[in-house]
Chains A and B, each alone.
Chain A
Amino acid sequence: MAVGLLGTAVSGLQAFQRNLETTSHNISNVDTEGYSRQRVDLESRPGTPSGAGFIGSGVDARATERLFDDFLSAQVRSSTSANAQLQAYHEFASLVDNRLADSNTGLSPVIQEFFNAVQGLADDPASIPSRQVVLSQADILVDRFQTLNQHFEDLRTRLNGEIDNLLHEINSRTAAIADLNDGIQRARALAGGQEPNDLLDKRDQLINELAEQVAVTVLEQDDGSVNLLMGNGQALVVGSTAVTLSTQPDALDPSHSEILAGSVPITQSLVGGRIGGFVEFREQILDPSQNALGRVAVGIAQDFNSQHGLGLDLDGNLGGDFFQLPAIQVLPDRNNTLPGATVTAAYSNSDDLTTSDYSLRYDGGTNYTLMRLSDAQTFAVDTAVPASLANDGFTLNIGVGATMGDRFLIQPTRNGGAEIDRAITDVRRVAVAGAVRAGEFTDVNGIPTNTGTAVITQPSTSNTSNVPLSGVSANGSLRLTFDASSNQFNIVPDPALVGPLAYDPAADSAGKAFTLAAYGGMTFTLSGAPADNDAFVIADNSGAISDNRNGLLLAQLQTKNTLAGGTVNYQAAYGQVLSQVGTQTHQADINRKAQEGLLGQAREAMASVSGVNLDEEAANLVRFQQAYQASAQVISVADTLFQTLLGVVGR
């Protein structure tokens, strides 16, 4: 009887001692990251049958279980991934956003100042200081392009570095998880099927930390280990083996890293987590923004150079290149069969440039496929017919010698911001005068001889064919003489045979426009009533230091819609980039805050199940202490009973 009593009491002592130990463990781990509170599972011992019924024999501590909800844990994990992704995206997007829009370091103010300088020169075309200001402002403009581009490049390098670091962290965590998988299996076996709670907690914590880096799916296996998969099923951890992730420069675009699992490229499979955020940032913001910056640079360089080449400088020479035009980058895929074909590209019309990169693939025979990467739009190219292709503002020149499957990356605007530079060096070479001028015919003393009332407007040119006119005319001029008998102006000399120009004084006196395509594409208007043999002279505009016509046209480039298919001007095109980046950053911020809220809720729900509450543990302490004392008291009573018995039967 006393034995039974004693045994029961001792079982109670042991059970409550276990309880106290567990409560103490909970209290010690109140602040431990990832700890799930533990509880001892008590089970009453089976009773011993007797004539008076079953007599209970105490309590056993069956198991120590941790309070953990798989579903809530999965929710926390997925919220963590989503939150980390938006966090990373927003972090980098803000960097771009702040830099681009700053009124001190942005692009718009320097574009304005450059064109202000051009306006200043148009106001005073003979002034050398005004020309110097134009060159200085051009330098500032070029410098700003290069600085902004460098900012993008720095972000790119930093991004690659961050990805490297992330992969190291991922690798170390997956290795630890794989080890834990192994450890848990063995610990289980050692404990005869009992769950190693703390190891499980540790593994879950590691998986949670991993979820911050990349979104993972957890698959529990029967033997207690978990397999981790990411993205579309790529395995990260299988049992006690972890797959090592590494990076190498992307085969097609070496400026960014490609991520390998072992030796298999998996960049596309990486979604969620910080890494997902980085990849998304690069594709949605970094690449398009840098390309858009480059597009503005190419647009300004090409348009300005074209117009500049139509004017005359202070010494009467046709203007040369004002800016150095950037070059289009064509990169052969690293895996192409050498020596392969040579592919080059050149700008055709900057109006049509997009902000996308392109890939060119050889399909065999004379067939290539060109793909615009932003929207995956493809264009078929047949190089049997011209070997060059015109598309989206650039032309390709494709040589022979490619092997089927060879690929090339074409980046028409990526390097625009980096490569734009000022080409003109001499202030006298800024060309603001028109190429040709017109007037009434005058004698050797400049006295007019016309007797009619016709007048001619100053011509503007659109190309340089046969300009300067001294190339086709000994005295550098064309004389238009009116023949009243046939109502036409005869042109002398006229090697390109554009004349005669029909003009009827009766019908055309309000004004008739002419374009001489073969002579610089010059356009002018004749009006009024010429008399027979009245003449006009169109001559090379030599000595015209006070002429600002080309300067006016150069200044007008600022407000002409010359980009994006002719819909926006330079500052508006840049503004579009800013607007897009700003909106995306704003959107990311909103999403991030929402996701933070969701994550908070998930964590609260999980903490409600698994978290340690000190007050509760304090109450438990009191409870188990009382129970222990009660059991101890039972032992004391059992002892008293035994002593009493001994006292009764002893002599």
Chain B
Amino acid sequence: MRVSTRLFQELGVNAILERQNALSKTQQQLSTGQRILTLADDPVAATLTLGIKESIEMTEQYQTNGTIAENRLGLEEATLEGVVNLLQRVRELAVQGNNDTLNAQDRTTMALEVRERLDELLGLANTKDANGEYLFAGFQGRTQPFTQPAPGVFAYSGDQGQRSLQIGPDRQVAVGDSGFDVFVDIPADSGGKQDIFTTLYTFAVDLEANNPSGVTLSDIDLAMDNILNVRARIGARQNVIDSRRDVNEGGLLQLRSTLSGIEDLDYAEAISRFNLELVGLEAAQQAYVRVQGLSLFNFLN
């Protein structure tokens, strides 16, 4: 088959251009560390990486939510621990108060402490978080939940709502309890419901009247039980968050390693390919030079 001079030239040059193109692409891969430079390089893999990246971001967001949930529950837990300690002290006073060896003066002194404790309890129940929201007001975060409109009358101005956070794709966890559930909705020894503040107030009044009642101790125990139940629930939620966190961490690890496997360049393979292409380019260039010098006109004169 004949070869035209012009095409001969073109083929030689094209070969060099092609080698340069391949070399340039490998060079880019090496300098960015990415196997996939554009979506068209490997559309299936590229779309996969998009999906994986989204999953990673979502899981990281869930981890963030989990941390916030832990913080909030931690604050609630610490506050309730203070409440329990307070109630234990009041319980001691209740047991003491029933002792017949005490006189009216002793009881009046005890009543003073009980009233102090009552104020302290009100303070704890009206705890605010770092953002200035009341912990125990349900959804009414800017409304002080517990007030004393009249001596011995306690009012709850929050609602019965409970906030949840999303810690997994189908998992929400409550991050608070309403003041209603913690301090108000407590059964009373004598039937019906009685809030914790009224219990302490009645105790103080009884002491001042030198007439301690046996019911007080039961009411305090019922209140303590309620708080302990809430704390147990908090503990359970914290466990859920912990185990969820572990699951998420495991998931993230898996996703990141899959992503790396798809996206990242195999340097060993790329470098050996690079060397091969370098050799190829050099060979093409040298072959071109050698061949283009040959012409019959060189030998005619």
A residues adjacent to B (C-beta < 8 A): 30-31, 93-94, 97-98, 100-101, 103, 108, 112, 115-116, 119-120, 122-127, 433, 437-440, 442, 444-451, 458, 541, 543-549, 552, 555-556, 558-559, 571-572, 575, 578-579, 581-583, 585-586, 589, 603-604, 607-616, 618-619, 621-622
Given A448-B184, A556-B166, A618-B296, is A585 in contact with B40 using a C-beta cutoff of 8 Å?
Answer: yes
**Distance of A124 Cα from B54 Cα, bound (Å):** 23
Say whether B193 contacts A447, CB under 8 Å: yes
Q: What are 7 A-B interface contacts by the 8 Å CB criterion? A: A119-B166, A446-B180, A450-B193, A585-B40, A607-B4, A609-B2, A610-B4
Given A552-B172, A611-B7, A613-B3, is A547 in contact with B163 using a C-beta cutoff of 8 Å?
Answer: yes
Say whether A543 contacts B65, CB under 8 Å: no
Contact with A along B151-195 (1 / 0, CB 8 A): 001111111111111100100100000001000110000001101
Choice from A101, A451, A458, A559 contacting B192 with Cβ under 8 Å:
A451
**Chain A CB within 8 A of B103 CB:** no
In the bound complex, residues from chain A placing their C-beta under 8 Å from that of B33 are none
**Chain A CB within 8 A of B137 CB:** yes
Say whether A581 contacts B65, CB under 8 Å: no
In the bound complex, residues from chain B placing their C-beta under 8 Å from that of A578 are 39, 46-47, 50
Q: How far is the CB of A544 from chain B (nearest CB, A)?
A: 4
**Distance of A241 Cα from B143 Cα, bound (Å):** 89
**Chain A CB within 8 A of B89 CB:** no
**Of listed A446, A543, A544, residue having the most chain B CB within 10 A:** A446
Say whether B131 contacts A127, CB under 8 Å: yes
Choice from A112, A127, A541, A543 contacting B54 with Cβ under 8 Å:
A112
In the bound complex, residues from chain B placing their C-beta under 8 Å from that of A619 are 296
Say whether B68 contacts A124, CB under 8 Å: yes
Choice from A97, A555, A609 contacting B166 with Cβ under 8 Å:
A555
Say whether B295 contacts A614, CB under 8 Å: yes
**Distance of A349 Cα from B295 Cα, bound (Å):** 75
**Distance of A571 Cα from B47 Cα, bound (Å):** 11
**Distance of A417 Cα from B65 Cα, bound (Å):** 31
In the bound complex, residues from chain A placing their C-beta under 8 Å from that of B142 are 126, 543, 545
Considering the complex, give the chain B residue whose CB is closest to the CB of A610.
B4
Say whether A575 contacts B143, CB under 8 Å: no
In the bound complex, residues from chain B placing their C-beta under 8 Å from that of A552 are 164-166, 172
**Distance of A206 Cα from B41 Cα, bound (Å):** 36
**Chain A CB within 8 A of B74 CB:** no
Say whether A94 contacts B50, CB under 8 Å: no
**Distance of A604 Cα from B7 Cα, bound (Å):** 7
Given A586-B40, A607-B7, is A547 in contact with B172 using a C-beta cutoff of 8 Å?
Answer: no
**Of listed B154, B155, B157, residue having the most chain A CB within 10 A:** B155
**What is the total number of residues of chain B having a CB less than 8 Å from a CB of chain A?**
63
**Distance of A545 Cα from B300 Cα, bound (Å):** 99
Q: How far is the CB of A79 from chain B (nearest CB, A)?
A: 15
Choice from A116, A120, A545, A575 contacting B51 with Cβ under 8 Å:
A575
Say whether A612 contacts B296, CB under 8 Å: no
**Distance of A437 Cα from B166 Cα, bound (Å):** 20
Given A546-B141, A552-B164, A579-B47, is A618 in contact with B297 using a C-beta cutoff of 8 Å?
Answer: yes
Say whether A608 contacts B40, CB under 8 Å: no
Interface residues of chain B: helix, strand, loop or mixed (majority)? mixed
Say whether A546 contacts B57, CB under 8 Å: no
Q: How far is the CB of A584 from chain B (nearest CB, A)?
A: 9
Known contacts A119-B61, A546-B141, A586-B42, then 9 further A-B pairs from the complex at CB < 8 Å, ordered by chain A residue: A31-B6, A127-B131, A444-B155, A448-B184, A451-B192, A555-B166, A582-B43, A583-B43, A612-B5
Q: How far is the CB of A370 from chain B (nearest CB, A)?
A: 33
Considering the complex, give the chain B residue whose CB is closest to the CB of A545.
B141
In the bound complex, residues from chain A placing their C-beta under 8 Å from that of B161 are 437, 439, 458, 541, 544, 546-547
**Chain A CB within 8 A of B250 CB:** no
Considering the complex, give the chain B residue whose CB is closest to the CB of A555.
B166
In the bound complex, residues from chain B placing their C-beta under 8 Å from that of A547 are 139, 161, 163
**Distance of A610 Cα from B54 Cα, bound (Å):** 59
**Distance of A442 Cα from B184 Cα, bound (Å):** 10
In the bound complex, residues from chain A placing their C-beta under 8 Å from that of B163 are 125, 546-548
Say whether A94 contacts B40, CB under 8 Å: yes
**Chain A CB within 8 A of B140 CB:** yes
Q: How far is the CB of B166 from chain A (nearest CB, A)?
A: 6
In the bound complex, residues from chain A placing their C-beta under 8 Å from that of B195 are 447
Considering the complex, give the chain B residue whose CB is closest to the CB of A622.
B300
**Distance of A586 Cα from B47 Cα, bound (Å):** 13
In the bound complex, residues from chain A placing their C-beta under 8 Å from that of B296 are 614-615, 618-619
Given A545-B140, A586-B40, is A445 in contact with B154 using a C-beta cutoff of 8 Å?
Answer: yes
**Chain A CB within 8 A of B149 CB:** yes
**Distance of A280 Cα from B238 Cα, bound (Å):** 58
Choice from B6, B41, B65, B159 contacting A437 with Cβ under 8 Å:
B159
**Distance of A31 Cα from B8 Cα, bound (Å):** 11
Contact with A along B56-93 (1 / 0, CB 8 A): 01100100110010000000000000000000000000
Say whether B156 contacts A447, CB under 8 Å: yes
Say whether B65 contacts A123, CB under 8 Å: yes
Say whether B166 contacts A446, CB under 8 Å: no
Choice from B5, B38, B158 contacting A97 with Cβ under 8 Å:
B38
Give residues of chain B (192-220) contacting chain A, Cβ–Cβ below 8 Å: 192-193, 195
Q: How far is the CB of B4 from chain A (nearest CB, A)?
A: 2
Q: How far is the CB of B114 from chain A (nearest CB, A)?
A: 21
In the bound complex, residues from chain B placing their C-beta under 8 Å from that of A119 are 61, 64-65, 166
Give residues of chain B (1-45) contacting chain A, Cβ–Cβ below 8 Å: 1-7, 38-44
Q: How far is the CB of A147 from chain B (nearest CB, A)?
A: 18
In the bound complex, residues from chain A placing their C-beta under 8 Å from that of B47 are 575, 578-579, 582
**Distance of A446 Cα from B142 Cα, bound (Å):** 17
Choice from B1, B39, B42, B139 contacting A545 with Cβ under 8 Å:
B139
In the bound complex, residues from chain A placing their C-beta under 8 Å from that of B5 are 30, 611-615
**Chain A CB within 8 A of B138 CB:** yes
Choice from A112, A446, A549 contacting B184 with Cβ under 8 Å:
A446
In the bound complex, residues from chain A placing their C-beta under 8 Å from that of B54 are 108, 112, 571
Considering the complex, give the chain A residue whose CB is closest to the CB of B132.
A126
**Distance of A559 Cα from B168 Cα, bound (Å):** 12
**Distance of A586 Cα from B185 Cα, bound (Å):** 67
In the bound complex, residues from chain A placing their C-beta under 8 Å from that of B193 are 447-450
**Distance of A17 Cα from B138 Cα, bound (Å):** 111
**Chain A CB within 8 A of B53 CB:** yes
Say whether A446 contacts B157, CB under 8 Å: yes
**Chain A CB within 8 A of B277 CB:** no
In the bound complex, residues from chain B placing their C-beta under 8 Å from that of A122 are 165-166
**Of listed B6, B141, B165, residue having the most chain A CB within 10 A:** B6
**Chain A CB within 8 A of B221 CB:** no
Q: How far is the CB of A319 from chain B (nearest CB, A)?
A: 16
**Distance of A440 Cα from B195 Cα, bound (Å):** 15
Q: How far is the CB of A530 from chain B (nearest CB, A)?
A: 15
In the bound complex, residues from chain B placing their C-beta under 8 Å from that of A541 are 139, 159, 161
**Chain A CB within 8 A of B113 CB:** no
Q: How far is the CB of A621 from chain B (nearest CB, A)?
A: 8
